[in-house]
Amino acid sequence: MNMTIGFRICNRPNVAPKALVEAFAQLPVANVSDAMSRVFAAGPSLRPMHASGSMAGVALTVRARPGDNLMLHKAIDMAQPGDVIVVDAGGDLTNALMGELMLAYAVKRGVAGFVLNGAIRDVDAFVATNLPTFAAGVTHRGPYKDGPGEINVPISLGGMVIAPGDIVLGDADGVLAVPLADAEDILKRTQAKQDAETRQMQAIAEGKNDRSWVDAALKKLGCEMPETA
């Protein structure tokens, strides 16, 4: 049977293994981003709406009509423990995609977090519950429930493609998706980056931090400097 493009629910064929997700959960999003050449991001408008803490989980993707949460409701019904529900709703802030009732149900389902390219409401509930939630804004106006939309299809947030089953990370610096096919290599690169930063922090604390690279870079670029600089 042919499915209607724009109004369909698909299977999620590949899912990141739990151990891999847990390994990424120990690392700062900024360092993962560095290991991915600093060119991927879900956009600076997606900010934490919870009190504190980081997020790591498996992407359950939703493409929604702006201001409509019918497919988001279905995604919460489908979610497995540890899933992060990622919604492309076009960044529209006119109507909230979810509030405290859906949040409470998502907690009960074991959802690991939300990334919403749209708005929420009942902000105090998100702060109090502290389920990692990243959204583009807040409005008291509620959503519609008419569709259309899609679940478990590739979506894009701020130019960053997120496929169902990818690893989704978030902390105070923002949101990042790690492609499942490249996740193990990215993890190794990130761990190496983290180890290097740990050594550098120790050198700073001991007063042994090598800053010679700054002048070397300036000279290489042809910067004119006084001899005493």
d(CA 83, CA 209): 41
Partner residues linked to 61 by β-bridges: 86
Farthest-apart Cα atoms in the chain, separation: 76
> Which segments are annotated as binding site for Mg(2+)?
122
The binding site consists of 99-102, 121-122
Better pLDDT: 227 or 121: 121
For residue 99, pLDDT beyond 90: yes
Q: Is 72 within 8 Å of 62 (Cβ atoms)?
A: yes
Question: Where are the chain's structural domains?
Answer: 8-180
Cα-based distances in Å from 34 to 7, 26, 40, 108 = 36, 15, 9, 34
Rounded Cα gap, residues 149 and 143, in angstroms: 14
The CATH architecture to which 8-180 belongs is 3-Layer(bba) Sandwich (3.50)
The position carrying tokens 């290097």 is: 196
Using 50, 70 and 90 to split pLDDT, how confident is the model at 139?
very high
Per-residue confidence (pLDDT) for residue 133, from 0 to 100: 98
**Binding site for substrate, residues?**
99-102, 121
Q: For residues 199-206, give the mean pLDDT.
A: 96
